[in-house]
Amino acid sequence: MRLDLSNTPALMLALLPEIVLTGWSLVLLLLVAWRHHSVRDLRLAGIVTLAAFVTTAGAVWWLWWNVTTVSGIPLMIGADDFRFVAGFIILGAAAGTVFFSFDYLEREGMVTPEYYVLLVYAVLGLLLMVAGEDLMVIFLGLELLSVSVYVLAAFNRRSAKSAEAGIKYFLLGAFASAFLVYGIAFIYGATGTTNLKIIGLQVATLGIAGHPLLLVGLGLLLVGFAFKVAAVPFHMWAPDAYDGAPTPVTGFMATAVKAAAVAALFRVLVEAFSAVPEWGTVVAGLAVATMVVGNLVALSQRSVKRMLAYSSVAHAGYLLVAVRTGTAAGGSAALLYLAAYAATTLAGFAILAAKGRHGEHDVLIDDLAGFASERPWLAFAMAVVMLSLLGFPGTAGFIGKWYILVAAVQSGHATLAVILVLTSVVSAGYYLPVIMAMYMRPEPYAGAHAAAGVGRWARTALIVAIAGLLYFGVRPNRLFELTRTSGAAVHPASIGGPGETGAAVSSGN
């Protein structure tokens, strides 16, 4: 199904998932305004939110199943497999967040259904980011996401750490947004357009790849994206924000937000700036610094939640290796790794929430001693999570890392592949102690883990996540096929391609 986005019906069809989710958001707003006092109201809002994500995923699936493409140069919104698969990952992570939030919100006394409204608008921003074929659409999606997540990070009003997380994320996020919008302004000044494909055509054909205005704009753009990805040295907000936010929100920030930022960054760099070689060096440097610093600092963490926060920084470095390749294989590897990482990280934070209380800030690795003897199934799930994050064979995390390594070596970046392997070895120094504490050390006192447990909603999502990690760790062929076609959907604009002529270049001026 080919869509001509110059006419309104086709544009509305291309935006079907976002329109469906927007409609559900209005329903949810009315519901929350009417019923917002009891635990029952909170659960009802959560169920409506789940229905919103499922029907939105259905709309994404319908577009993907009908092989939807755009006729000519996409004007504002793209319709390709890369967008659809990234959308599935985001919606899956968001649905998992809802499952893990049901019991957590009730247990922590946050009987505030507005939580789900903010989550829906954050997901709407994420979907716009991965769908955007124009820098302004990506920026609008980013801002819709950011405003919602700022509030979600500080949602526990009785926690000083939650307030600190929200204010730090807000202040540094405002600076990052300023860098991003200034970068867009400089790029517009150099090319006369904000459309990704037309920027790519302009840069490739008009000989402006070395234009100072373009390079400054691209640099500012990379700073803004590096903040959202939590790449070193723009990661300062991540440990405190992840540590202070409610744990389900932390999982959402570490998975869905990171997935959208990486997907949007890959699309921007490949489609608009393939003819500018300088970005490759910058992204490679960010990847190396992020992998090294994230893993080394995580080694010194004793708090499980803070360790997972720095672990998330390290994984951003692995994803940047895939982005650096700038190839279809790199895009495919990034999506596959994001799918595995989202399931792994959400499950890890869910188990942490089952063990801890009051934000889980004080759950140390030593506190997990003897966990396997009293909670064997939760301990087994946590062990699978740690092994998948480590990249141990037999888990989906291993398949994701292997795919990134293959893409890096094939594109001539063997040095990045070697650094990825070495830093992954370092990560064993903080993942394996968690398993050792659970299985090889006695519990500190009888009944130390008696209060640990998950509700039926969280248990269902946890079983699905762990089963998926183990299944795709052994039989990843379906994931390979899905992501391979998705990565190939993102490519530099070319004169003479289908619907792309030299006239399109001048249309951006």
Q: How far is CA 155 from CA 97, 112, 151, 166, 350, in A?
A: 15, 9, 6, 8, 18
Q: What is the pLDDT of residue 88?
A: 93
Q: What is the pLDDT of residue 218?
A: 93
Q: What is the pLDDT of residue 503?
A: 38
Q: Under 8 Å CB-to-CB from 110, ≥6 apart: which residues?
A: 155, 156, 246
Q: How far is CA 163 from CA 25, 157, 175, 252, 461, in A?
A: 26, 7, 19, 18, 28
Could you list the mean pLDDT of each consecutive 10-residue stretch along the chain, which spans 509 residues?
A: 80 91 94 84 92 95 85 79 92 93 86 91 94 92 92 86 87 89 93 90 85 92 91 87 89 92 93 88 94 92 89 94 92 93 92 75 83 88 93 92 93 93 93 91 76 81 92 87 82 57 38
Residue type, 383: A
- Is residue 106 within 8 A of residue 89, CB to CB? The reply is no
Tokens of 287: 């990847």
Provide the residue ranges of all domains of the chain, joining segments of one domain with +. 14-498
Q: At what angle do helices 81-107 and 39-65 cross, to 10 degrees?
A: 170
Pick from 388, 394, 399, 274: nearest CA to 325:
274
Three-class SS of 389-438: HHCCCCCHHHHHHHHHHHHHHHCCCHHHHHHHHHHHHHHHHHHHHHHHHH
DSSP 3-state of 303: strand
In eight-state DSSP terms, residue 15 is T
Give the residues across from 70 on adjacent strands: 3
- Distance CA(91)–CA(51), nearest Å, equals 11
Pick from 279, 278, 292: nearest CA to 226:
279
In eight-state DSSP terms, residue 169 is H
- Distance CA(136)–CA(262), nearest Å, equals 17
- Distance CA(222)–CA(218), nearest Å, equals 6
Tokens of 331: 């895009």
Tokens of 178: 């300023």
Vertex 470: Cα angle to 464 and 475 (nearest 5)? 115
Q: Give CA torsion, residues 449, 452, 453, 458, to 10 deg.
A: -140
- Distance CA(316)–CA(322), nearest Å, equals 10
Give the residues across from 77 on adjacent strands: 132
Pick from 139, 119, 158, 377: nearest CA to 256:
119
